A and B are shown apart, each in its own frame.
Chain A
Amino acid sequence: MYVAVKGGEQAIDAAHRLLDEERRGDRSVPSVTLEQIAGQLTLAVDRVMNEGSLYDRELAALAIKQARGDLIEAIFLIRAARTTLARFGYAEPLDTRAMRVKRRVSAAFKDIPGGQILGPTFDYTHRLLDFSLAGDYEPPEAARAPGALRSDMPRVLEMLGSEGLMEQPSQEAREPADLTQDPLDFPAGRDLRLQNLARGDEGFLLALAYSTQRGYGRTHPFAGEIRLGTVEVSFTPEELGFPIVIGAIAVTECEMINQFKGSATVKPQFTRGYGLGFGQCERKAMSMALVDRALRAGELGEERGAPAQDEEFVLSHSDNVQATGFVEHLKLPHYVDFQSELVLLRRLRAGTEAAKHRLEAAKDRPEAAE
């Protein structure tokens, strides 16, 4: 005799205890510390802070540990924690011109005022497994620049702009849109799109950016400037009325130079795409800049047909916390809906069967078929 299934609660508790055990792994090996994650898996931490939309290295490290290294799960943990935080207001716009630069390169000019500064990069490394890292290898200390770098590193795009070759960035005096405070609405302004892309999944943006390079919405990009470093964050408390510096964060900024545009009356100019993210996130910032530019197709009077140019398509599907949730929810029970489909399908099949019998019966009596 069938008895309705019970015991979901105990099963869940037991599954979670098993998860805790698997997370811990071999107990003879020391548990990984948050300092190790925050200090040595820095790019994973950066990604979690970016897509988790919260600049906190310690919490991101905790999330990565709790998620067993599944970064989308870690991002999800950070987003859920972020929900509960009190909001004090908006910071002043970051001044990335005043960035304390760690890395800064341009692919548009051989040499630029302030210099090409390579910084810590995988570029030009040979991707050969380094077996010395399997042990306790301690690298020698890196050499430092003999003097301080310029504190007001000029922007490559500004240099082009002063010659009139580069479109001026759009400036609007209003408060920027905020999709964490208001639901996403279409058509979206560029501010809202950039916020969405900054929180968007790196893999999704990478694929979209790649698609524009392969002809699905070409934008003829040049990496005008990519810079990585720390910038000060200022905030104006209501009771003070003037901005105070509340800390510094590491960011990566990418400014793309894209295909020019002009008309009979307007001299042709290059157009721009913009990317910005927490920590070191060049792949993300570059992808974001390419997609930003692709999404400007409508504003710039270009034909819109490629996925990367489709605002609703891009913005509605960029968030990996939403995407993974909805895809994985198919694991939840759907007994009732499936039962409804079963009932219908069986009835439809029975109807077809009856019709077939009627046809065959008619065939046996040729006179009746006429």
Chain B
Amino acid sequence: MNVPAYNFAYLNEQTKRMIRRAILKAIAVPGYQAPFASREMPMPYGWGTGGVQVTASVLTPEDTLKVIDQGADDTTNAVSIRKFFVRTAGVATTGKTEEASVIQTRHRIPETPLTEDQILVFQVPIPEPLRFLEPRETETRTMHALEEYGVMHVKLYEDIAQYGEIATTYAYPARVAERYVFDPSPIPKFDNPKLDDCPALQLFGAGREKRIYAVPPYTSVRSLDFEDHPFEVQRWDQPCALCGTRESFLDEIVMDDRGTRMFVCSDTDFCARNRGER
């Protein structure tokens, strides 16, 4: 049995060209979900195949890659994806946000502000923000074409009527460049303000659903809200127990079986830097 050798970053050049075309289309129409012929990857659907294909298509041998999951570099899936690119592309990797040229992420945007020289690649499970209101692709496609976003506002309004506030805490819908309503992937709404006017190119890959979309650098991203119920992000009563910052998203750590809790930065690189550990 002959053992095959893999191309740089796994995908063959034909496939990368196809994906790059979808990426260019996505950048040209910010927030629009460009269909692409997603390939089967050697990691399961739902584990970042879309992000991996986007990263594989934009990666060059000179790049420095950072991979995070839940804000951390050493969560199992981040480790697995980083190893995949070390093995198939041989690129340099880093945990430091400011050193990376390409950052693949699941569920967070780094706390350290991004720059024009960086690409942030999001892993997306369900790219369609209207999917849970309308399960049919044929319908949601038409709704986007007609800018028919009333149902989304009704949903947010119903939250307010029932709970007194909007009860969406992650994957919070936003409008890109005043046109398409999009799903910023399941990042906490805490991260939504970072999407807006960001100097870095933000690419979103949904492998199973075969869609790529983008927020080009310096593009407006407005989280949906109402005049009398403006968009707000989560706040914690205490600072990070490790570095003391009040500026970051905090993970809750269960310390013992008597209910003791501790709150620490979800962005491990940001926390380490605050503590002067790097």
Write the chain A residue with the least CB distance to B36. A183
Bound-complex Cα distance A58 to B70 (A): 40
**Contact bitstring B198-215, A, C-beta under 8 A = 1, else 0:** 000000000010110000
Interface of B is mostly: loop
Q: How far is the CB of B35 from chain A (nearest CB, A)?
A: 4
Q: How far is the CB of A348 from chain B (nearest CB, A)?
A: 6
When the two chains form their complex, are residues B47 and A9 in contact, meaning their CB atoms are under 8 A apart? no
> For window 296-338 of chain A, which residues contact chain B by CB distance below 8 Å?
312, 316, 321-322, 324-329, 332-337
Query: With an 8 A cutoff between CB atoms, is B216 at the interface?
Result: no
Which B residues lie within 8 Å of A181 (CB)?
Answer: 37
Q: How far is the CB of B52 from chain A (nearest CB, A)?
A: 11
Bound-complex Cα distance A184 to B78 (A): 29
Query: With an 8 A cutoff between CB atoms, is B224 at the interface?
Result: no
Bound-complex Cα distance A232 to B10 (A): 33
User: Which residue of A5, A184, A344 contacts B169 across the interface (Cβ within 8 Å)?
Assistant: A344
Query: With an 8 A cutoff between CB atoms, is A62 at the interface?
Result: yes
When the two chains form their complex, are residues B107 and A337 in contact, meaning their CB atoms are under 8 A apart? yes
Q: Given the interface contacts A4-B242, A312-B138, does A333 sit within 8 Å of B255 by beta carbon?
A: no
Query: With an 8 A cutoff between CB atoms, is B45 at the interface?
Result: yes
Query: With an 8 A cutoff between CB atoms, is B40 at the interface?
Result: yes
> For window 1-30 of chain A, which residues contact chain B by CB distance below 8 Å?
2, 4-9, 11-12
When the two chains form their complex, are residues A348 and B163 in contact, meaning their CB atoms are under 8 A apart? yes
Bound-complex Cα distance A4 to B273 (A): 13
> For window 39-59 of chain B, which residues contact chain A by CB distance below 8 Å?
39-42, 44-47, 49
> For window 58-85 of chain A, which residues contact chain B by CB distance below 8 Å?
58, 62, 76, 79-84
Query: With an 8 A cutoff between CB atoms, is B184 at the interface?
Result: no
Write the chain A residue with the least CB distance to B139. A312
Bound-complex Cα distance A11 to B187 (A): 26
When the two chains form their complex, are residues A336 and B108 in contact, meaning their CB atoms are under 8 A apart? yes
Stretch at the interface among B111-119, B148-156, B173-181, B263-271: B263-271
Write the chain B residue with the least CB distance to A337. B170
When the two chains form their complex, are residues A4 and B39 in contact, meaning their CB atoms are under 8 A apart? no
When the two chains form their complex, are residues A322 and B45 in contact, meaning their CB atoms are under 8 A apart? yes
Which A residues lie within 8 Å of B189 (CB)?
Answer: 340
When the two chains form their complex, are residues A8 and B108 in contact, meaning their CB atoms are under 8 A apart? no
Write the chain B residue with the least CB distance to A182. B37
Interface size of B by CB at 8 A reads: 72
When the two chains form their complex, are residues A340 and B170 in contact, meaning their CB atoms are under 8 A apart? yes
Write the chain A residue with the least CB distance to B235. A343
When the two chains form their complex, are residues A326 and B36 in contact, meaning their CB atoms are under 8 A apart? no
Which B residues lie within 8 Å of A171 (CB)?
Answer: none
When the two chains form their complex, are residues B169 and A343 in contact, meaning their CB atoms are under 8 A apart? yes
Write the chain A residue with the least CB distance to B211. A183
Query: With an 8 A cutoff between CB atoms, is A124 at the interface?
Result: no
When the two chains form their complex, are residues A339 and B251 in contact, meaning their CB atoms are under 8 A apart? yes
Q: Given the interface contacts A11-B76, A12-B76, does A329 sit within 8 Å of B125 by beta carbon?
A: yes
Write the chain A residue with the least CB distance to B171. A337
Q: How many contacts between A and B, using CB within 8 angstroms?
A: 155
When the two chains form their complex, are residues A333 and B75 in contact, meaning their CB atoms are under 8 A apart? yes
When the two chains form their complex, are residues A339 and B250 in contact, meaning their CB atoms are under 8 A apart? yes
Which A residues lie within 8 Å of B268 (CB)?
Answer: 4
Q: How far is the CB of A75 from chain B (nearest CB, A)?
A: 10
Write the chain B residue with the least CB distance to A330. B46
Which A residues lie within 8 Å of B35 (CB)?
Answer: 182-183, 185
Bound-complex Cα distance A7 to B136 (A): 42
Bound-complex Cα distance A5 to B51 (A): 25
Bound-complex Cα distance A335 to B69 (A): 10
When the two chains form their complex, are residues B45 and A80 in contact, meaning their CB atoms are under 8 A apart? no
When the two chains form their complex, are residues A351 and B164 in contact, meaning their CB atoms are under 8 A apart? yes
> For window 231-251 of chain B, which residues contact chain A by CB distance below 8 Å?
234, 236, 241-242, 249-251
When the two chains form their complex, are residues A333 and B69 in contact, meaning their CB atoms are under 8 A apart? yes
Bound-complex Cα distance A286 to B236 (A): 58
User: Which residue of A11, A58, A321 contacts B1 across the interface (Cβ within 8 Å)?
Assistant: A58
Write the chain A residue with the least CB distance to B263. A339
Query: With an 8 A cutoff between CB atoms, is A353 at the interface?
Result: no
When the two chains form their complex, are residues B45 and A325 in contact, meaning their CB atoms are under 8 A apart? yes
Query: With an 8 A cutoff between CB atoms, is A342 at the interface?
Result: yes
> For window 60-97 of chain B, which residues contact chain A by CB distance below 8 Å?
69-72, 74-80, 83
Query: With an 8 A cutoff between CB atoms, is B110 at the interface?
Result: no
Query: With an 8 A cutoff between CB atoms, is B190 at the interface?
Result: yes
Which A residues lie within 8 Å of B80 (CB)?
Answer: 12
When the two chains form their complex, are residues B262 and A2 in contact, meaning their CB atoms are under 8 A apart? yes
User: Which residue of A5, A335, A344 contacts B74 across the interface (Cβ within 8 Å)?
Assistant: A5
**Contact bitstring A271-306, B, C-beta under 8 A = 1, else 0:** 000000000000000000000000000000000000
Bound-complex Cα distance A83 to B137 (A): 26
When the two chains form their complex, are residues A180 and B170 in contact, meaning their CB atoms are under 8 A apart? no
Which A residues lie within 8 Å of B10 (CB)?
Answer: 84
Q: How far is the CB of A56 from chain B (nearest CB, A)?
A: 10
When the two chains form their complex, are residues A82 and B40 in contact, meaning their CB atoms are under 8 A apart? yes
Write the chain B residue with the least CB distance to A5. B74
Q: A86-B12, A332-B106 are in contact. List 8 more A-B contacts (CB 8 A).
A: A9-B79, A76-B44, A83-B11, A84-B6, A180-B37, A325-B45, A329-B47, A336-B71
Nearest 10 pairs of A and B residues by beta carbon: A325-B45, A329-B46, A325-B44, A340-B169, A79-B40, A183-B210, A326-B46, A183-B35, A80-B42, A325-B46
**A residues apposed to B, CB below 8 Å:** 2, 4-9, 11-12, 58, 62, 76, 79-84, 86-87, 180-187, 312, 316, 321-322, 324-329, 332-337, 339-344, 348, 351
Interface pairs (18), CB distance under 8 Å: A2-B241, A4-B242, A4-B271, A83-B41, A84-B6, A180-B37, A181-B37, A184-B210, A312-B135, A316-B137, A325-B45, A325-B208, A329-B44, A333-B69, A333-B75, A343-B234, A348-B163, A348-B164
